[in-house]
Amino acid sequence: MEKTVKSELFSWIQSLLFASAIVFICYQFLFVPTKVQGESMLPTFEDNNRVIVSKVSMIDRFDLIVFHAPNATDKYIKRVIGVPGDRIEMIEDILYVNGSVYDEPYAKRIDGDPITDRITGDFTLAEITGQEEVPEGAFFVLGDHRLKSNDSRYFGFISEDAVIGEVKLRIYPFTEISIPK
C-alpha cells in the first residue's frame, strides 16, 4: 500500500511540474495577461480591463499593442498609427497616412472631456518628432482617447524592442470575453 501512495504522489508531482513548465514557456514566449490602467484607450478599453497579449504576432498599422513606456517604468497600451516608412499627419481630426485618409471610429469624444471642437489636435510627424517618416524598427502610437493619452505625440517613436506584444483578447472581470476590433 505504501508503494502505491508513493507512486501516486510521484505521478502528481510529475504532472504539476510538467504543467508548470508549460505555463512558464507560454508566459515567456507566447502570451501574457495584463491589466489596462487609466483612461487613455477609452472607449476601446476601460480602466482595469484585463487583456491577453500575444508575443508572437506581427505588428501592423492600427493594431493594439502593449509596450514598455519610454518615459516611465510602466507598460502602456496604445494603437499603432504608423509603421516604418509611414508619413503621418492629423488635420481637423482627419488622419492621413502616406497621403491617404483613414477613418478612426475608435477615436471618439468621451463624456466629461473638456469642451473643445477637436478629438485630436493638428500635427505632422515632422512637427512632433523632427522626422518625415516613421524610422525602421519603430512605431508611432496614439491612444484612442486622444485628449487624455500620453503617447507618441509626447514621447516620440516606440522601438520594436520595447513592444511586448499585440492585444488579442479582452477579458472582463466576470469572464465575459470579447475580441477587440
Active-site positions? 40, 78
| Pairing status of strand 123-124 against strand 31-35 | unpaired
CA distance 107 to 126: 22
Q: Which residues pair with 139 in a beta bridge?
A: 158
